[in-house]
Amino acid sequence: MSFSRESKEEILKTEIEDDACAISFLSGLFRSCGEISKNGSKTYIKIVSDVEGLFAFCKNIIKKLYGDEIEAEIGENYNINKNTFYEISFEVEKFKRMLMDVGVLDFSENGLTYNFEIDKNLLLEDETRRAFIKGVYIGSSTSSIKLSSDSAQSCGSGYHMEFVSQSHKFLLDFSNILAEYNIIGKIFERKNSFVLYIKDVNTIQDLLALIGANQSVLDLSNEIVTRELRNKVNRQVNCINANINKTVEASLKQVSAINTIINTIGLDSLPEDLQEVAVLRLANQEESLDELLKLSTIQLTRSGLNHRFRKLIKIANTLEE
């Protein structure tokens, strides 16, 4: 299950007790993902979600607020890109009272219109604003965040969460609500829709904490630590590999120079100090300078040993010329 869906399922595990919060939640849900459709003479408001538990959650809220006389319908699920989606239908005539309470429909002489404008009267209290944000999060949020199954598996870089809507005004008003909690996002247009996106991982954590997805906050914190540890290990491995490559390249160059000398004038023609380091290198071709110093009986510093190898290379270059 994706991180986004897990966080939504977590939110739906907590029942909304307060009636005003329940209406605010439904208002956020319908405004963020509701669509008008017709089937013959009947008009429906439909919600499509990849969260299976949403239907039961809404059903409990509606029963609590309006009793058993009205009931939503859940259509057959269907798959898109290996993800299962569920369609929940609300017949407008049956749910007229509820839809007017949540403020998503306008009934006028021109007929039925969908109202994306947020009813601020529903969001006067902190708790009702949080419930509204929950509804919008369930209805329209998506995320590219993937959690690592273990510390050795990479799940991509960066953190991204977005809210998609057909209404620029709705997203603008919603971003202002989030800004009251210091959750700042940016809006851009994508094809025929608008997107409010958040890329800062700390801001995403604040948003999840705001709507009560505490386990998701912990999971995301663990992911941050895992990625930082993995990146640190990768940097160290890259550094080690780079040093190994440098050691191998230097050794090959030194051995090649020594072999050139052997095949031309011979090691016996060299001063004793250079003969000693040449023999030492030939006997330990894979070792670094530091390791050669440990193996050597010669009293030399690292720079002194390196200086003698440079002399050998210079002699070999002269002989080749």
Rounded average pLDDT per 10-residue block, the chain, 321 residues: 86 90 92 82 83 87 79 64 77 83 76 76 92 93 77 61 90 93 92 90 93 90 83 83 81 84 84 82 81 78 84 85 73
Contacts of 152 (CB under 8 A, 6+ apart): 230
| pLDDT reported for residue 70 | 63
- Identify the bridge partners of residue 80 per DSSP, sorted by sequence position: 83
pLDDT at 71: 66
Give the whole-angstrom CA distance, residue 120 versus residue 289.
Answer: 73
Q: Is 248 helix (H, G, I), strand (E, B) or coil?
A: helix
Query: 3-state class of 294 per DSSP?
Result: helix
The pLDDT assigned to 150 comes to: 43
Q: Domain 3-212: which topology?
A: Endonuclease I-creI (3.10.28)
The predicted structure's pLDDT at residue 112 = 67
Question: For residues 116 and 165, is the Cβ–Cβ distance under 8 A?
Answer: yes
> Amino acid identity of 71?
E
Q: How many CB atoms lie within 10 A of CB 245?
A: 10
Residue-level pLDDT at 275: 81
- The pTM score is 0.73
The domain limits of the chain are: 3-212, 246-320
